[in-house]
Structure 1
Amino acid sequence: MPRRRRQRGSGMDRAASGAAFPSAADWERLRGRLAGPLFRPGEPGYATARRAFFTMFDDRRPAAVVGAARVEDVQAAVGFAARHGLPVAARAGGHSYPGYSTVDGGIVVDLGRFSGIKVRPDGRVVLGAGTRLGPVAATLAAAGRVLPAGLCGAVGIAGLTLGGGIGVVDRMYGLTCDHLEAARVVTADSRVRTVSATAEPDLFWALRGGGGGNFGIVTGFTFRTVPAADLATYTLEFPAAARAALFGAWQDWLPGMPDELWSGIEFAPGRTALAGTFLGPETRLNGLLDELVRRTGARPSARRTRVLDHLSAVRSFDVRDSRPALREAYTGTSRMLTRAAADPAAVTEVVTREPGVTTLIDSAGGAIARVGARETAFPHRSALASFQFLHDAAPADGGEAGARRALAAVRDGLGPEFGTTGYVNYLDPDMPDWAQAYYGVNLPRLRAIARKYDPEGIFTFPQGLAAPRSTVHIGET
């Protein structure tokens, strides 16, 4: 029997809104309009098509997955969802921690076929929304260019950009979204819009840090790039007993460092390490690291530096297997360090109190902070660092529920230097006051833009900015 669920806070039933679940004939008409495949429950390919990166969400059953092969396919899927009252979600890299890119009872628009990469003679690059960071970096490297971006080659360019885009040269060049010049997006009315600083600038502003899935389905991006240069990389390993001293020294050392330096700390079970990159001579890097070691007051158990081309340097930090077909079970959450912690030892105790949690601390500042908090939708411009907390979520590790309990103990145990903050690319379904945490001072403007471009809530999801639709179909086929 078909089941329906009312959205929380709504008293209107789907039937009252006039929308009916599509008939078999309706689905076939949609299939006939598509250049790419349509996967429905029970059909060959559906079981694979519905799965995202994280295995924890393999029980979710979309009503259909559209393997979009052209922009018109995206338009058709969005229009169909709107007419029939179905939720719709875009999937590019599929790395949403809460699994928001796989929607029960709705339509998943898979953008994996939008994988084109075109490097222009002027150094700009045009990317399809389904491209992954690994191929982007490799293609640009062959042209002597770099798009400032993250380390994981399997992550999609779309989600990274729409949430901001933290990477290994961002103190020098800014976030990924700071290099965005134009985007092509299908909005809830099925229109294709090419947005930029001069064309629908409010939507363009929102797409630079306002989070994926909120304002439409982006199908393509145009970015400025920067010339490729060698990177001096470094890794220093410390005994676990030095964690508080390392973090305290690092947070005081970082603001005085040149923009050419990016730095991160990892506190993981059995591992305490500092690593990063430097756009400059190895000799100068070693002098900067010597200062940090002196401030720490503890000798590292291992210290390695070397100079690599940019692509090799990025690949050297990508410790997870970057094959898109590989799937895993882990989840995460985040906070932003807004100012130096008054008690580094207390912070270190909190972030290491749960034995299964890995903490990744990434430096901010530099070029990131030279953009105002309201100039793009990314609000955390003045932060000193971002904190990401990870926990395995396979059944043997306690499952997703156990992972989230451990992560919450860390996330909510931190002091006032972290405030109500979080990074929207590390979505956490249990984040307290999530909208304020992710969007800060930009929340009112972002909500207004979401209402403007999606007044009916076509793109609503549990942590979305669009107004929720009256009801959502669940489990109908």
Structure 2
Amino acid sequence: MTHGHAFPPMTTIGPGDKRYPALSRGFNQRWIASPEYVRLVGSPAGAVRALSEAVNQHPTDPDRTRITVRSGGHCYEDFVCGDDVRVILDVSPMCGVYYDPGLEAYCVEAGASNWHVYSHLYPLSGRALPGGSCYSVGTGGHVTGGGFGLLSRQHGLTVDYLYAVEVAVVRPNRTVDLVVATRDDPGTNLRDLLWAHTGGGGGNFGLVTRFWFRDLPEPPRNVRLAALAWKWSEFDKAEFGKLVTAFGGYFRDHQDPDEASGKLFAMLKLNHVSNGEIGLVAQIDDDDPNGKDALADFLATVDGAIKPESGQMSAPMGEHPPVRDMRTPRVLPWLTATQALNSSGENRCGKYKSAYMRKPFTPAQIDEMWAYLGNVRYKDYVNKEALIQVDSYGAAINHPPHDTAVPQRDSIMKMQFQVYWKRTETASAIDRHIKWIRDIYRKTFATSGGVPAINDLTDGCYINYPDGDLDSGEWNTSGDKWYTLYYKAAYPRLQQVKRCWDPLDVFRHQQSVRLPKARVEGTGS
């Protein structure tokens, strides 16, 4: 149990403090704020006090009025660290992980990082959250957006186990209450508040302080881990197409979570040609007696489909360093393997886009990915840190035990388009990086308005990989609004939760859940 606080429950950092520059930005160096202050919150009671003070203060700058909450601070967009931010409430000091006998559930405080949860929860309980592979991601954002990771095809999403959430909420009279909402609450409003935090995204309804999880799965005693790479120079368009088709076809055909193959998770790293390598990482439950053969079958299906010969991974790929010495799969304890894969890359600037795939890629999509990654288009573009990461998906994710706010429950893959650059690069170079990712995304989904619209092939976007371009009529001509791409039919219900629990719209950003429009008397609208 890690309740204790060695530091004061709140610490306020102003512009004159030497810590201010580091705490006014997130992991993504693209976004740097200039808030009046950053407040580090160390307890639920401290969260209530900090939020109450912030919401009742008068802004000194009318252009900076937002109050934002930071957990891990990955900040793919400027939702936390933007030019209009007045106060950042940083909950990272709240990182306790313990069993709560009162709620008969495992409690994880909102400031705990993924690695903090894995390294504390598993040794104490033998249980684990099926969360992500980036160690520094905070649970406050990861869980609320419907976090997933290498155990998710076997055990589902993090939110499939969420039983209760504690939230500091702002009332219409600007007072602040600390509310605990559980899955079993008799009141509809409380149940809806819990539901909204099972995929409704962070920064929408209040300041989350604690999560409680029930029936958490036990991870495998051992996993079998493989990492390999192919030289880009050995690929032509046909071989690239065979690789991508084989990967998608495998996960289309292996969606049973009770089979060993349904417990296999893989990441295909389709790096830009200038990286020199295309990579593949795969993990399977080695406790399953068929796990070894299932992994061998997967590698034979993907690696065996192409002429380029695979070897050891040697190049960094997106947020992951090279996973070395695993061309021949190795058996490792689950926690050891998780630590080996845990990374969040360097501190740098980045832009991201996402897509849920219900089916394997079409030939037209493969053609565009090849063209943009292989310099057929953008012939003079060179960036080792530009890539499309394709994650396996589905299986247990597509059989949720409870109703959640995550509507994408029949996909077989999830895509993350990524591009990184140094903050010191010229404005024209930065514009080119952003233009590259915008163009490859728009061309990949050219038949559905430049985005993965809701149709039989694609199923929208992942709120934890937010993309401000989805608001734009220039980059999204699909007819599906940004909120439809993230939330589909769940959005109106999320709006009702917003009206109930954040009626003053305190928690807002470019793509926050909007308050529903007021009903017009006599119209029924």
Whether TM exceeds 0.5 here: the answer is yes
Deviation digits for residues 22-53 of structure 1 (CA, Å, limit 9, x no counterpart): xxxxxxxxxxxx94122233345433332322
Tell me the equivalent position of 2:353: 333
Tell me the equivalent position of 1:227: 218
- Cα distance in 1 for partners of 2:155, 2:104 equals 15
Tell me the equivalent position of 1:260: 263
Deviation digits for residues 241-262 of structure 1 (CA, Å, limit 9, x no counterpart): 1322111111111122232111
Residue type matched to 1:109 in 2?
A: L
* Map 1:29-428 → 2, pairs under 5 A: 35-43=9-17, 45-58=19-32, 60-84=33-57, 86-103=65-82, 104-119=84-99, 124-143=105-124, 144-189=126-171, 190-199=176-185, 200-224=190-214, 225-229=216-220, 230-240=222-232, 241=235, 242-257=239-254, 258-268=261-271, 269-280=275-286, 281-296=291-306, 299-302=309-312, 303-320=327-344, 327-343=347-363, 345-349=366-370, 352=373, 355-356=382-383, 357-371=386-400, 375-397=403-425, 401-415=431-445, 416=447, 418-419=452-453, 421-428=460-467
Select 2:509's aligned residue among 450, 461, 464. Answer: 461
- Cα distance in 1 for partners of 2:79, 2:407 equals 22
Deviation digits for residues 108-148 of structure 1 (CA, Å, limit 9, x no counterpart): 11101101111469994211110111121112332322211
Superposition deviation, residue 298 in structure 1: 5.2
**Contact 1:77/1:107 (CA < 8 Å) preserved in 2?**
no
SS at match of 1:276: strand
- Cα distance in 2 for partners of 1:46, 1:236 equals 41
SS at match of 1:232: strand
The count of aligned residue pairs is: 430
- Cα distance in 2 for partners of 1:292, 1:42 equals 55
- Cα distance in 2 for partners of 1:395, 1:87 equals 25
SS at match of 1:194: strand
Tell me the equivalent position of 1:444: 492
TM-score normalized by the length of structure 1: 0.83
**Contact 1:123/1:226 (CA < 8 Å) preserved in 2?**
no
Superposition deviation, residue 155 in structure 1: 1.0
TM-score normalized by the length of structure 2: 0.76
| Percent of residue pairs identical | 24
SS at match of 1:222: strand
- Cα distance in 1 for partners of 2:49, 2:148 equals 33
- Cα distance in 1 for partners of 2:21, 2:228 equals 44
Tell me the equivalent position of 2:473: none
Residue type matched to 1:288 in 2?
A: F
The structure-2 alpha-carbon separation of the partners of 1:350 and 1:73, relative to structure 1 and needing over 3 Å to count, comes to farther
**Contact 2:496/2:515 (CA < 8 Å) preserved in 1?**
no
Q: Which moved more, 1:214-223 or 1:420-429?
A: 420-429
Q: Which moved more, 1:358-367 or 1:416-425?
A: 416-425
Superposition deviation, residue 67 in structure 1: 1.2
**Contact 1:187/1:216 (CA < 8 Å) preserved in 2?**
yes
**Contact 1:244/1:348 (CA < 8 Å) preserved in 2?**
no
Deviation digits for residues 139-180 of structure 1 (CA, Å, limit 9, x no counterpart): 233232221111111111111101111200101100111121
**Contact 2:269/2:279 (CA < 8 Å) preserved in 1?**
yes
The structure-2 alpha-carbon separation of the partners of 1:351 and 1:427, relative to structure 1 and needing over 3 Å to count, comes to farther
The structure-2 alpha-carbon separation of the partners of 1:256 and 1:46, relative to structure 1 and needing over 3 Å to count, comes to same
The structure-2 alpha-carbon separation of the partners of 1:214 and 1:68, relative to structure 1 and needing over 3 Å to count, comes to same
**Contact 1:54/1:327 (CA < 8 Å) preserved in 2?**
yes
SS at match of 2:143: helix
Superposition deviation, residue 187 in structure 1: 1.4
The structure-2 alpha-carbon separation of the partners of 1:430 and 1:396, relative to structure 1 and needing over 3 Å to count, comes to same
The structure-2 alpha-carbon separation of the partners of 1:149 and 1:398, relative to structure 1 and needing over 3 Å to count, comes to farther
- Cα distance in 1 for partners of 2:301, 2:351 equals 35
Unaligned runs of 5+ in 1: 1-33, 469-477
The structure-2 alpha-carbon separation of the partners of 1:119 and 1:309, relative to structure 1 and needing over 3 Å to count, comes to farther
SS at match of 1:187: strand
Superposition deviation, residue 209 in structure 1: 0.7
**Contact 1:336/1:422 (CA < 8 Å) preserved in 2?**
yes
Residue type matched to 2:13 in 1?
A: F
**Contact 2:114/2:132 (CA < 8 Å) preserved in 1?**
yes
- Cα distance in 1 for partners of 2:44, 2:160 equals 25
**Contact 1:70/1:114 (CA < 8 Å) preserved in 2?**
yes
Residue type matched to 1:192 in 2?
A: L
Unaligned runs of 5+ in 2: 1-7, 59-64, 255-260, 313-326, 455-459, 471-475, 517-525
SS at match of 1:462: coil
- Cα distance in 2 for partners of 1:162, 1:317 equals 23
